[in-house]
Amino acid sequence: MKKLFLFICLITSSTFIFSQNENSVIAWIGDRTITLQDFKQRFELAPQIRNVNVGTEEQKNRILYTLIAEKLWAIEAENTGYDSDDIITHTFKVMEKMLVRDELYKAEILQKAKADFNELINAMLKSNTILNINFIYSINKDEINDIYIQLISSTPFDSILINRPEKQTQLTPIKVTFGSTSQDIEDSIYNLKVGSFTKPIETDNGWLIFRLVSTEDNTPLNNEEFKTREKKLKKIVEDRAISKRYKEFYSEIFKDLIINSDGYLFWSLSDKIIDELNSRREELKVQEGNKVELLSNDFQDIEKLFGEDSLKLIFIKFEENPITLKEFLRDLTFEGFYTNYSNPDIIRQQLNSRVKRFIELEVFYREAIKRGLQYTPNVKSEIELWRDNYLSNLFKIDILNSVEIRTEQVKEYYNENTENIAYTKLVNIIEMLCDSLETIEKVLTELDNGADFRGLAIKYTKRTWVRDNNGEFGFFPTTMYGDVGKIAGELKIGDMYGPLKLEDGYSLFQLIDTKQEKTDNPLPFEEVAQNLEKNLKLEKFNQVASSKTIELAKKYGVQIDRNTFNNLNVVNHQILAYRYFGFGGRTLAVPQVSPFYKWYENWKSENPNVP
C-alpha cells in the first residue's frame, strides 16, 4: 500500500536548500512574480497526485500554469475591489498577524536565546547519572510545609509517604534522567545526596518534596552513543534557552499591562458557544468525555445570532484600536474551538483562556507593528503569497456562482450522452472523514505503527453510513463526490490519499477496487439529474474560467523564463507540510490550490507565440 501523504512540522520557514538562486524569477505576471523558491515550495510542500501517465516535467508545467492563473485572478480581484471583502479584512487578517508575530519571535526569541557552552557541559555530566527518586505531593501549601517540618525534625520520609495516595504511583522509585523534568526540579534533585530531600517546590498543579533514593551510572558506552546523546542534550539546552528568553520577553512586554474584555459580551458569547457545542454533541451522538469541535458554519450561525450591530461592539478593551466581537470571532473561527466536556463552567473557563491567549498574541502583534516588522522583505513576500491565494479564491467563487445551468440543458445533455451515462468507471474506497487535523495525525501515527486502515476508518469517521458499511463507500462513479471521486479515479488500487480538505471536514481515503460498468437501460433522468447538473456546472465553470484567465493574461501580461524553469529540479515528495509560528499558531506551510492548467493549453493553441 502506498500512502500518498506525509506530515512535516516546520518551526519557522522551509529548510529546503536550493542549488540555484532562490530569488531568481521564473515567471512575471503583471506586477507579480513567481520565484524559484516560490515554485519549489508550492510544488514540494503540497501533495501532487501521482499519475503514471504524467512525468515530472509535465507536472511542473501544470503547477506553474495553475500558479500563474492564481496570480492573474488575484490581480483582477484586487483591481476590482475584492480587497475590501469581509474575508480579506477579517479572516485573512488572522493569517497576516501570525506572519508578523513570527518575525518578532525570530528577532526577540530565537536570535537572543543563547545556549551557554558551560550549560551543555553541565548537561553532559548530569546525563551520566540516572536518579531514583520518591516524592510527596500536596495541593495545599500549609500541608506541604507541615510535612517538611516533620522531615527536618527527623521523621522518616517513608513513614509519611506510605500513608499517602501518591504512594501508589511509586511502588518502586521513579527514574529521572536529564531533560525528563522541568529545569527547576532537575536542578534541585541533581544537587541531592542519597537519602536527602528537597524543600517544597511549587509547580502549576501543587507542591512537591523529592527524596533521592539511589543513583545509577549512565555513561555512554561508545563514541557513537556519545554523539547521539550530545545531539539530544544540545537540543534540550537550546530549547531551555528559548524558553528562558521567552519568559524574559513576556515579562518585559506585559509588565504593568492590564487589558480587559467586556463581561456581558463574554457571557453572551459563551452561552451561544455552549448551545452550538450541545447541538453538535447531540447531532453526532458524541459520548461524554469525547471531543466535540465547532466548524466554520457553526461560527457563522453564532455571528447571525448576534447580528451586525452586536458584532461591532467592543469586546477587548485596548486603549487604542480596541477589538470588536467580530474580530475576535473570526480569530476563533480560524484557530477553531473544541472541548471534551459538557459542563458549562469548564467550557467558559476554556473560552476565558482563549480570550487571554488572544490578548497576549494581539499585544505581540502590536509590538511587531510598532517595530515595523511587517515591512521586512520576508514578511511582505509571505503576506503577498497568502493574500493572493485568498483573493484568487474569492475570484474563483464568483466565477462559479455566475455559472447557471438550466433544467433544459441537463435534459439535453442526458439525451445526447445516454451511452456515456450507461458506461462509467466506478471506484470503491475506504474513507475516514473527521473534523480536525489532530484526528488525522492520530490516524497517521496508528497507521505507521501497523494499524489497519479499515478499522481506523470505522472507528473515527463521521460518516455514519460509511461506518455502517464496514468503512467503505461502495462502488460509485468518479464523477460523484467532487474531488474525492476525481482523485480516486487517478489512483491505483492500494493507493491512499489525504488529508483532503472538504466542506464538511478532512478526508483520508484508500482506493480498494475499480470496475467499468455498462447498463442496458440507463438510469432514469430523475435519478441522475442532480449529478449531471454538477458535472455540467463544473464543465461550464472550466470553460468560463479558462476564457477569463486567457483574457487576464492578455490584459496584464505573462512572461516565463523557460531556461531557468526547465533547469529547476523538484521532487514529488507527496507531503502535506505544516508551519508552526512563533508565539503560537499553525497553518499549512504553503497555500493549496486545485490544478487549473488547461487554460494555458487553450491560450497556446490560439497563439503559438505565447511564452
List, for residues 23-41, the tens digit of each pLDDT value.
789 999 999 999 999 999 8
Q: Is 578 helix (H, G, I), strand (E, B) or coil?
A: strand
Question: What integer pLDDT is reported at residue 10 of this predicted model?
Answer: 44
Residue 96 placed within a domain: no
Euclidean distance between CA atoms 575 and 588, whole angstroms: 11
User: What average pLDDT score do residues 192-216 get?
Assistant: 95
pLDDT of residue 123: 93
Range with the poorest average pLDDT among 261-275, 407-421, 453-467: 407-421
For the beta carbon of residue 32, count every other beta carbon within 10 angstroms: 18
Q: With respect to residue 159, please indicate whether it lies within any of the assigned structural domains.
A: yes
Asked if the structure places residue 153 within a domain, the reply is yes
pLDDT of residue 19: 45
pLDDT value for 302: 96
Nearest one of 212, 118, 203 to 157, comparing CA atoms = 212
Residue at 245 is within a domain: no
Q: Which of 562, 422, 444, 557 is nearest to 498 (CA)?
A: 444
What pLDDT score was predicted for residue 574?
62
Q: What is the pLDDT of residue 13?
A: 39
Count Cα atoms within 13 angstroms, Cβ side, for 172. 2
Q: Would you place residue 251 in the very low, low, confident or very high pLDDT band (cuts 50, 70, 90)? A: very high
Percent of the chain with pLDDT over 70: 92
pLDDT of residue 441: 76
pLDDT, mean of residues 291-309 = 91
Q: Using an 8 Å Cβ cutoff, are 399 and 544 in contact?
A: yes
14 pLDDT higher than 70: no
pLDDT band at 336 (very low <50, low <70, confident <90, very high): confident
- Most distant CA atoms of the chain, gap in Å: 97
Nearest to 545 by CA among 403, 404, 389, 388: 403
More confident residue, 156 or 421: 156
What is the chain's mean pLDDT, rounded?
87
**Average pLDDT score over residue span 152-161:** 95
Q: How far is C-alpha 158 from the geometric centre of its chain's CA atoms?
A: 48
Give the residues across from 560 on adjacent strands.
Answer: 27
Q: Which of 61-70, 184-193, 366-375, 442-451 comes out lowest in average pLDDT?
A: 442-451
Q: How far apart are CA 408 and CA 560, in angstroms?
A: 43
For position 170, what pLDDT does the model report? 93
pLDDT at 212 over 70: yes
Query: Residue 312: left (phi > 0), alpha (psi -120 to 50), or beta?
Result: alpha
Q: Between 346 and 419, whose confidence is greater?
A: 346
Top-confidence residue, 275 or 285: 275
**Residue 262 grid cell:** 467586556
pLDDT surpasses 70 at 529: yes
Residue 166 lies in a domain: yes
151 part of a folded domain: yes
Domain presence at residue 501:
no
pLDDT surpassing 70 at residue 17: no
Q: Which domain holds residue 155?
A: 129-218
Tell me what the mean pLDDT of segment 337-350 comes to. Answer: 94
CATH number at residue 208: 3.10.50.40
Contact partners, residue 604, CB within 8 Å, separation at least 6: 610
- Indicate whether 435 pLDDT > 80: no
3-class DSSP state for residue 48?
coil
- The Cβ-side half-sphere exposure at 118, using a 13 Å CA radius, reads 0
State the DSSP H helix or E strand holding residue 203, giving kind and residue range, or none if neither: strand 201-203
102-116: average pLDDT:
93
CA 529 remoteness from chain centre: 37
Number of domains the chain is built from: 1
HSE-CB at 604 with a 13 A cutoff on CA atoms is 7
Give pLDDT, residue 518: 64
Query: Do the domain assignments include residue 117?
Result: no
User: What confidence score (pLDDT) does residue 48 get?
Assistant: 60
